[in-house]
Amino acid sequence: MKKKLRTLVHKLGINISRNFGFSPGIYNSSYLSRLLSPDLVIDVGVGFGTHELYAAFPAADFLLIEPLQEYKAAIDGISASYSCETIYKAVGKEPGHLEINVAPDDPQLSSLLERSDLTAEGLKSEKRTIEVTTLDSIFAGKQLPAKTLLKIDTEGNELAVLQGAEEILPRIDCVIAEASIAPRFKDGYRFDDLVAFLADRGFELYSFLYITHKVEEMQPRFADVVFMRSDAAATGNG
């Protein structure tokens, strides 16, 4: 039975990792380039950069949005290779100022939310007040190009980013989000909340790029998920 299951899993393009369970390994430029050909890629939560995303669309313009100056050197390196504009602010449901929990030992784990018992153990953090804007505010009075891709990786704040993008979402063709599945954050959204929000606005859950699932835990912690607008079919099918 295990052998049959493993064979089926491999046919589906899913790798079984000893440490992380089932994880589709298709977060790569080859796969991403077949989704669509965006004129603009909006990268919310840049960190050290999603280089597979940039390499997939070398001719696109990139809007890089990141609240932490710790990543400036990495972002400058991205900007040297691609057509980029950078905004050093957080993105959320509404503009203002909020406290972010910065993880000094690993800033990629910094979040506007408090971590749950599942993910807080052993993690040091310090609070910092940062400016928050919305995607609607950034693009107020501006025309989005014909095809736009939105990528969000904000450590549990993904739904709030989308809630602050109601005006521009009808002009977005594809959303790639690092979506929480297990309760990683206190008062965080549920995975089905994110799916339902996007479904109500014309997006279909299209594919899973990567799933992080520790084998000793019952639920995956999070997944990198592609949502496609219903009328924006990917180019690689068939």
**What stretch of H or E contains 41?**
strand 40-44
Which tens digits make up the pLDDT trace of 86-106? 999 999 999 999 999 999 888
> Which pLDDT score, from 0 to 100, does residue 209 have?
95
CB 109 within 8 A of CB 47: no
Domain 21-229: give its CATH superfamily. Answer: Vaccinia Virus protein VP39 (3.40.50.150)
Mind spelling out the 3-state secondary structure of 127-195?
A: EEEEEEECHHHHCCCCCCCCCEEEEECCCCCHHHHHHCCCCCHHHCCEEEEEEECCCCECCCCCHHHHH
SS3 32: helix
Other Cβ atoms within 10 Å of 17 Cβ, number: 15
Q: What are phi and psi of 189, to 5 degrees?
A: -70, 160
Q: Give me the residue spans of the domains in the chain.
A: 21-229
SS3 126: strand
Which tens digits make up the pLDDT trace of 220-236? 899 999 999 988 756 55
Q: What is the pTM of this model?
A: 0.86
What integer is the mean pLDDT of 5-32?
56
Which tens digits make up the pLDDT trace of 36-93? 999 999 999 999 999 999 999 999 999 999 999 999 999 999 999 999 999 999 999 9
Percent residues over pLDDT 90 in the chain: 71
Percent residues over pLDDT 70 in the chain: 87
